[in-house]
Amino acid sequence: MTTTVANAADTIAHRIAATIDPLFALIDTWRDELEARLAEVAEPNAADLDPVIAALVRPALDDSSGLITGAGFVAAPGFLPDAPWHLAWWLSGTNTFRANADGGVRRLDAESDPDAEQFRDYTTLEWWRTPARTGTRHLTGPYVDYLCTDDYTVTITTGVMVDGEMAGVVGTDAYVARIEQELLPVLRESGHPCTLVNASGRIVASTDSRHATGALLRLDGLASVLAPLHEHEGQAAAAVLPGGQFVVPCGDTTLALVFETA
C-alpha cells in the first residue's frame, strides 16, 4: 500500500466516524444526565423517571432531519420497583412503525409483564448483552428489528451505572437506509472502491454494487482484523489483508472501512 492510499483511507474513516460520533455523543450525554439524576434519588420509580427520559430524548426525536428514529431508556430487570421490566422508548415521526395519523413522536408499546407470552427478555438481545458484558457503548446491526420498529435498523446503546451496577441502557435507533444515504457520498469521495462493515464484517454501505448492505464481506483475514472491534478489546489497528485491501477502524464506532487498493 502506498502512503497516499493509506492517507485517503484514513481521511474517509475519520469522516465516517464524524457522522456516527454525534449519535454516540448524544447517548453519552443522556447517560451522564441520567446517572446524575439517579444518584440523587433514593428510590427510583418508573412513574417519576419516564417524564425525565421523555424530556431527554424528545429534542432528538423532534429533529426530522436527523438520523434518529427511536430513543430511550431500558431498565435493568428489578431496578425500578414499580416496573420490574421497563422500556421507556419513544419513536420519532419519521419512524414508519404503526405510525399514527398525526405522524408525531409516540411511545413504543412494549410488553412488560414477564408472564405474558409476548414478553421478551431483552437482556438476551445484543443491544443489551454487549454493553452489559463489555461496559462500553455498542453499535448493534444492521439488523431487521422485527420485535420493535419493524425495519432495517442500527441500534446504539450504552450502560447507565448506579452504585457500580448497570441500572439500564440508554440508546437510539437509526434506519440503515438513512445512514447509507449519509455515508455513501463520503465513501465515493476517495475514488477507490470501498466498503463500510460492522464488527461482524456485515456490510453497512459500499461503493461496489456487488456488495449488498446486510451481506457479509468475505475476505481472507478480515475476521481476525475485526475481532478486537467485535470483542471491544481496545483499539483495533489499521491492517492490510492478504488480498491487498486496507482495513481502517472508524474511530471507536466499531465500524471499519475496507479500502481496495487496486
Spell out, one character per residue from 152 to 191, where the chain touches other proteins: x when CB under 8 A holds, - when not. Answer: x---------------------------------------
User: Is residue 127 at the binding interface for other proteins, with CB under 8 A as the rule?
Assistant: yes
Provide the minimum distance between the beta carbon of 231 and other proteins in the complex, in angstroms, as a whole number. 12
CA distances from 7 to 2, 21, 43, 248, 252 (A): 9, 20, 52, 10, 18
Provide the minimum distance between the beta carbon of 140 and other proteins in the complex, in angstroms, as a whole number. 6
SS3 79: coil
Among the listed residues 117, 163, 235, 262, the single contact to other proteins using CB under 8 A: 117
- Among the listed ranges 43-51, 136-144, 186-194, 238-246, the one in contact with other proteins (CB under 8 A) is 136-144
User: Is residue 216 at the binding interface for other proteins, with CB under 8 A as the rule?
Assistant: yes
Count residues binding other proteins (CB under 8 A). 30
β-bridge partners, 162: 165
Q: Which is nearer to other proteins, 45 or 123 (CB)?
A: 123
Question: How far apart (Å, rounded) are the C-alpha atoms in residues 169 and 148?
Answer: 16
Distance of CA 201 to the CA centre of its chain: 15
CA distances from 75 to 80, 132, 152, 248 (A): 7, 12, 24, 35
Beginning with the edge strand found earlier in the chain, give each strand of the sheet holding 138-144 in spatial order.
Answer: 106-107, 87-91, 68-75, 165-175, 152-162, 138-144
Provide the minimum distance between the beta carbon of 177 and other proteins in the complex, in angstroms, as a whole number. 10
Among the listed residues 39, 47, 144, 237, the single contact to other proteins using CB under 8 A: 144
- Among the listed ranges 13-21, 36-44, 194-202, 237-245, the one in contact with other proteins (CB under 8 A) is 194-202
Which residues would be at the binding site for other proteins (CB under 8 A)? Answer: 98, 114, 117-122, 124-127, 140-147, 150-152, 200-202, 213-216
